[in-house]
Amino acid sequence: MAHVAAGLPRNRFKQAIRERRQQLGLWCTLSSAFGIEVVAGSGFDWLLLDTEHSPADVLTVLGQLQALAGHKVAPVVRPASNDPVLIKRYLDIGVQTLLIPYVQNAEEARAAVAATRYPPEGVRGVSALTRATQFGRVPDYGRHAAQEICVLVQVETEEALGAIDAIAAVEGIDGVFVGPGDLAASMGHIGELGHPAVIDAVTNAIARIAASGKPAGVLTADAALARRCMELGSVFTAVGVDVGLLARSTESLAAAFRPGGG
């Protein structure tokens, strides 16, 4: 086993998906430390802290990481884009698992990996006093950080699905995630996540990723589809979105007390 720097947190999520142990996830877009603390004890293996389609940024994610520090659930952060500056900033505050959106081909996958590696393997800028280094208290952080960094890339267009094998083959890619929402739009079925063609595309993509030897992941609130994807090889599976759960549950509660509602 490779040496791990003293004080460098082990990435149990990365180890779990490498061993193909199912990791159940929840998408989190409420963008607050308080909100993330509410769901931290709900029993999920990982929580996706979304900064692509939410008001969240580096500072709000920092607060969420601090709120999660006493919990076993793994934080996974989605930057707003495949941007080395954004990626660097999240790594520096201690993020160890990143889900990079809208990766279209192997070249973009290699760029995502390079953003998480120090030179000469990559382009991550060096600072010895970040939260990730425990402010200089993790000896030899620079030499060992990549061991515990998990790079997940999101395929969410027909073009990206055509490049799945090449993307999965990129060294340093730890998992490939299927994004049904943008994929549906790419196929001309925006908002129609249950369209048979979209379902077929998602399930075929999961099977291809699994066959490539890389862990596969997906987000779907459709329980039947989630279970089907698990059967096909999805090992990091998000099954709901915090905002959606809150909105639908409160609507149902209000409706139940309206005349004729309950």
CA distance 97 to 132: 12
Biggest distance spanned by C-alpha atoms of the chain: 67
Catalytic residue among 3, 53, 71, 189: 53
CA distance 210 to 199: 17
CA distance 171 to 189: 33
User: Residue 78's beta-bridge partner residues?
Assistant: 50
Q: Is 128 exposed, middle or buried (0-12, 13-18, 19+ CB in 10 A)?
A: exposed
53 is catalytic: yes
Q: Please, where are the H alpha helices in the chain? A: 12-18, 33-40, 58-68, 84-92, 106-115, 141-148, 158-162, 164-168, 180-186, 196-212, 223-232, 242-256
Cβ contacts of residue 256 below 8 Å, gap of 6+? Answer: 262
Cβ contacts of residue 38 below 8 Å, gap of 6+? Answer: none
Cα distances from 15 to residues 71, 74, 149, in angstroms, run 17, 12, 11
The single-letter DSSP state of residue 220 is -
CA distance 30 to 47: 12
Q: Which of the residues are catalytic? A: 53
